Amino acid sequence: MNLDRIVKLAIPLDGYFVLHCLYEERKDLLMNYIINVNKIPTKVFEFLVSEKYLEYGGDGVNYDLNNIQLTERYATDVLGKVPSKNITFDQAFQQLREHYPIKTPEGRRLHQDIDRCKKIYKDIVFKFGRVDEEKHSLILQCINFMVKEASKFNKLEYIKMLPTYLQQKSWDTVIDDVSDMNKNGVYVNKKEGGTNGENKTVLGGDDF
């Protein structure tokens, strides 16, 4: 649980508990809490709906597990994950290109041989007719981590070309670090800036 992020977003703790149970598909735990511990106040559900963490399909204020549905905002804003639910491979590849720097500070362009990149990445994250969303999200975080580290030590000029990065599976060098951060509720986010249409990757969220 990232308490700083929850406080910053002004999410009540019982509201966070509702979101966590729905995200982890633990409706049984939520019902057990409501029955044996305490009911969730209506105003908490109203807050979650008004802030677009939940979608409500009922009438009045009769909130139950059959008329509420989790939106992507919990994963993106609270957990810091890249939204990737039921995405196509083309969407996943576009996200990859958005996260990987377009060029180095001295202008060396990194997005070369796109058709080859697409084939390599499809072999990595597209299995059994669908995108492996967890692996895809982890790779994007590894890219963010890599760029942050390169920025810290003034080594952005040495970032690999995108085809080389994919072919060598270079995210493996930091994947254990990123996985450990995820286990502690910290996700490596990306901030965007730049001018003239350039997608300049700047790393580090409020929790990194």
* pLDDT, averaged across the chain: 85
pTM above 0.85, yes or no: no
Q: Are the beta carbons of 82 and 95 closer than 8 angstroms? A: yes
Query: At 56, is the secondary structure helix, strand, or coil?
Result: strand
Classified as helix, coil or strand, 126 is strand
DSSP 155: -
| Across 80-108, average pLDDT | 86
Per-residue model confidence as pLDDT tens digits over 115-160: 999 999 999 999 867 898 889 999 999 999 999 999 998 999 999 9
Distance from chain centroid for Cα 30: 24
| Residue-wise pLDDT tens digits, 18-44 | 999 998 888 899 999 999 999 999 999
> Is 73 in a helix, a strand, or coil?
helix
What is the β-pairing status of strands 126-127 and 68-70? unpaired
pLDDT at 190: 72
Does the structure show a pLDDT above 80 at 197?
no
Beta strands in the chain (DSSP E): 54-56, 68-70, 126-127, 130-131, 190-193, 200-203
User: Could you tell me if 71 and 52 are in contact, meaning their C-beta atoms sit under 8 angstroms apart?
Assistant: yes
